[in-house]
Amino acid sequence: MHITDYSEYQIAYQKSLEEPDLFWAEIAEHFHWRKKWNKVLEWNFEEPNVKWFQGAKLNITENCIDRHLEKNGNKIALIWEPNDPSEAHKTYTFIELHKEVCRFANVLKNMGVDKGDRVCIYMPMIPELAFAVLACARIGAVHSVVFAGFSANSLADRINDAGAKLVICSDAMSRGSKQLPLKNVVDEALKTCSTVEKVLVVNRLNWPIHLRNGLDFVYDMEAEKVDENCPATEMDAEDMLFMLYTSGSTGKPKGVVHSTAGYMVYTAYSFLNVFQYDIDDIHFCTADIGWITGHSYILYGPLLNGATTVMFEGVPNHPDPSRFWQLIEKHSVTHFYTAPTAIRSLMQSGTDHLTPFAMHSLKVLGSVGEPINEEAWHWYHVNVGKERCQIVDTWFQTETGGILISALAGISPTRPAHAGQPLPGIHAVLLDSKGNEIEGNDKEGYLCIKFPWPSMLRTTYGDHERCRQTYFSAYKGYYFTGDGARRDENGLYRIIGRVDDVINVSGHRFGTAEIENAVNQNKNVVESAVVGYPHELKGQGIYVYVICQNMPEAAEQNWLRSSIIQTVAEEIGAIAKPDKIQFVSGLPKTRSGKIMRRILRKVAEGDVSNLGDTSTLLDPLVVEEIIIGAVL
Ligand code: 7RM
């Protein structure tokens, strides 16, 4: 299962294409199964219907924890670092993690959570978040982690869509210099959620919370009523392990569904090989567990490999920009995995904050979430990696579960701003707009995957047709990623970015339609159009064109802008706040009423030299007005 040189990679890749069943069966042998599978793979991309390791029985937490107890029980599984450096860090050995997860699982059981029930987890990055996720997996409940930066409205949408029975939250959270009430947000959300029977509150900051009889429970009190033995529930290979909401080009965010066995096999395999994990390595992924990166590469991937994983509650620049480097030195971190947006923001603070830190322990640096520009890549390589660490630029999606395109650290060829080659088992292709495969190198096209891989999404919760439509209908017989990519002269992939109406802000995905819906909730707004534009720090920024009843006077525009920003923060969350708002009297629409986003994007980019054909516009004059009024 562990690839140790480039020729092994090539052999594995070839084998995975020629004999996929055999290839994955051999990898799957490395796990603990209560019962082995009858069939490795059954699939078609028309419905789609994808089933891996059918007939197998297992529990993923036995593979994450129990399996390591005998030999490595006293090894540290989890290192937790708080937001404030003045507070002590915590560590949990595999034995301790086992106890915590079992205790948490028993609390859930006591509260009436059964196999198959959906549990919504809305928590800061504290150890109990990890315990809660694994506790759900232990008893076969489906976890749906909602990033704690989302607003009450967003939370309510996700709870309702999932039909969650229980919500787990904390009283409050610290992030950087801010403290935020989380239980209050849950209370607000629950006003419109009828499926939730109970709320479990973990204490983080000793904030006063409003406890309602029979509805709200405090974790510490519930934990006293149970013991720390909890046999793992036996799951079928294809039983749902979790869902995770993600934005697309249309409608509300969808619940991407992952199943048990395939997700386990692929996240473990990709973690081991991409990062070239070695026993005693310390893996620090700075993502939030509210995103797929956190699920796969803070929790499941590392724990499945028996690795030590670092979980950090805070932000890169609190209390100052040296925080990451301090943590790397403090815990002798070998693998550091972060997002380009964090790198760019630290880059802005110069390099003085790095000087005192040699970070000798570091071996591998990772990047994920958005394209990493060459400048950031070099800065990362020189200043953090001191030119002696491998960089892996890892491409994947909520839907893919694990990393699909990346160098294997120190093994595959790398090139700045290029994710590299697909992992074994990943049949990546580029298609042209007619759906023909583009052969050869030095070519650009739509990135699609031709063959199933174990951790691919199985459906979108409650709406299989939407899954088919979104991912399997654009090009028949292919999974469509929504990304455009270029294969360079050596066959290395560079991900260019989304080709659909999805904006990637600091590695967070939003649909333009989703933000427009939020903006339109503001009572002053008649209509809006949202586009992304290149943003120095965030990768992409959010640019909103707004039509009001009457064109607002200059004096009114500032408060109107604040009011619209406030609305978006309430509807989605502070992470989706627009960067620029332009008031316009009309939008460039075709006679059939379609907004020509191409024009809006060009204006937002500040490049109006070539707007293309505007002759089909209903009112070409509106374009002039938009250009003149552009917010640059
Ligand atoms: C892991 C994650 C997925 C979208 C994806 C891309 C973009 C992710 C990279 C990247 C260039 C990368 N999941 N993306 N990784 N673009 N290089 N290494 O971010 O579901 O939240 O987003 O993110 O556009 O489609 S996600």
pLDDT digits (tens, 9 = 90+) for 57-68: 999 999 999 999
Copy the structure tokens of residue 276: 């070239």
Please tell me if the CB atom of residue 236 comes closer than 6 angstroms to any atom of ligand 1. no
The crossing angle, in degrees rounded to 10, of helices 260-274 and 20-28 is 80
pLDDT value of residue 382: 97
pLDDT digits (tens, 9 = 90+) for 428-476: 999 999 999 999 999 999 999 999 999 999 999 999 999 999 999 999 9
pLDDT digits (tens, 9 = 90+) for 505-542: 999 999 999 999 999 999 999 999 999 999 999 999 99
Q: Whose CA is nearest to atom 11 of ligand 1?
A: 371
| 3-state percent breakdown (helix, strand, coil) of the chain, nearest 5 | 30, 25, 40
Per-residue pLDDT, averaged over 401-418, amounts to 97
pLDDT value of residue 89: 98
pLDDT value of residue 615: 80
pLDDT at 385 over 90: yes
Task: For residue 349, tell me if it sits in a domain.
Answer: no
Please tell me if the CB atom of residue 539 comes closer than 6 angstroms to any atom of ligand 1. no
pLDDT value of residue 620: 85
pLDDT digits (tens, 9 = 90+) for 313-362: 999 999 999 999 999 999 999 999 999 999 999 999 999 999 999 999 99
pLDDT value of residue 524: 96
CATH number where 513 lies: 3.30.300.30
Listed range (205-214, 245-254, 290-299) with the worst mean pLDDT: 245-254
Q: Which domain holds residue 602?
A: 506-628
Q: What is the pTM of this model?
A: 0.95
Please tell me if the CB atom of residue 241 comes closer than 6 angstroms to any atom of ligand 1. no
Task: For residue 382, tell me if it sits in a domain.
Answer: no
Output DSSP code: residue 361. T
pLDDT value of residue 129: 98
Listed range (125-129, 362-366, 413-417, 610-614) with the worst mean pLDDT: 610-614
Question: Using an 8 Å Cβ cutoff, are 127 and 310 in contact?
Answer: no
Task: For residue 517, tell me if it sits in a domain.
Answer: yes
Q: Please report which confidence band the pLDDT of residue 619 belongs to, taking 50, 70 and 90 as the band edges.
A: confident
Instruction: Pick the closest to residue 248 from 50, 504, 565 (CA basis).
Output: 504
As beta bridge partners, residue 535 has: 539
Exposed / middle / buried, residue 178 (Cβ in 10 Å: 0-12, 13-18, 19+) = exposed
Task: For residue 388, tell me if it sits in a domain.
Answer: no
**Phi, psi of 93, deg, nearest 5:** -75, 170
Q: Whose CA is nearest to atom 16 of ligand 1?
A: 370
pLDDT value of residue 252: 87
CA 410 – CA 334 distance, rounded (Å) = 14
Please tell me if the CB atom of residue 509 comes closer than 6 angstroms to any atom of ligand 1. yes
pLDDT value of residue 546: 97
pLDDT value of residue 251: 79
Please tell me if the CB atom of residue 232 comes closer than 6 angstroms to any atom of ligand 1. no
Output DSSP code: residue 437. B
Task: For residue 243, tell me if it sits in a domain.
Answer: no
pLDDT at 250 over 90: no
pLDDT at 164 over 80: yes
CATH number where 159 lies: 3.40.50.980
Q: What distance in angstroms lies between residue 395's CA and the mean position of ligand 1's atoms?
A: 6
Residue that is last in its domain, among 233, 248, 277:
233
Task: For residue 254, tell me if it sits in a domain.
Answer: no
pLDDT value of residue 460: 98
Please say whether the dihedral angle defined by the alpha carbons of residues 315, 318, 322 and 327, taken in this order, is positive or negative.
negative
Please tell me if the CB atom of residue 269 comes closer than 6 angstroms to any atom of ligand 1. no
Q: Please report which confidence band the pLDDT of residue 618 belongs to, taking 50, 70 and 90 as the band edges.
A: confident
Task: For residue 556, tell me if it sits in a domain.
Answer: yes
Residue that is last in its domain, among 233, 262, 285:
233
Q: Please report which confidence band the pLDDT of residue 573 belongs to, taking 50, 70 and 90 as the band edges.
A: very high
What is residue 457's three-state secondary structure? Answer: coil
Instruction: Pick the closest to residue 452 from 224, 629, 168, 238 (CA basis).
Output: 238
Task: For residue 410, tell me if it sits in a domain.
Answer: no
Question: Using an 8 Å Cβ cutoff, are 197 and 163 in contact?
Answer: no
Residue that is last in its domain, among 202, 233, 264:
233
Q: Please report which confidence band the pLDDT of residue 163 belongs to, taking 50, 70 and 90 as the band edges.
A: very high
CA 390 – CA 404 distance, rounded (Å) = 18
Copy the structure tokens of residue 575: 């992470």
Exposed / middle / buried, residue 465 (Cβ in 10 Å: 0-12, 13-18, 19+) = exposed
Please tell me if the CB atom of residue 368 comes closer than 6 angstroms to any atom of ligand 1. yes
Our mutation pick for probing the ligand 1 site, out of 418, 495, 505, 575, counting the most ligand atoms within 8 A of Cβ, is: 495
pLDDT at 584 over 80: yes
How many domains does the chain divide into?
2
The proportion of the chain whose per-residue pLDDT surpasses 70, expressed as a percent, equals 100
254 dihedral zone (left: phi>0; alpha: psi -120 to 50; beta): beta
Q: What distance in angstroms lies between residue 561's CA and the mean position of ligand 1's atoms?
A: 30
Per-residue pLDDT, averaged over 121-141, amounts to 98
Question: Using an 8 Å Cβ cutoff, are 1 and 272 in contact?
Answer: yes
pLDDT value of residue 517: 93
- Longest distance between any two alpha carbons in the chain, whole Å: 74
pLDDT digits (tens, 9 = 90+) for 145-156: 999 999 999 999
On average, the pLDDT of the chain sits at: 96
Please tell me if the CB atom of residue 339 comes closer than 6 angstroms to any atom of ligand 1. no
Q: Which atom of ligand 1 is nearest to the CA of 497?
A: 24
pLDDT at 51 over 80: yes
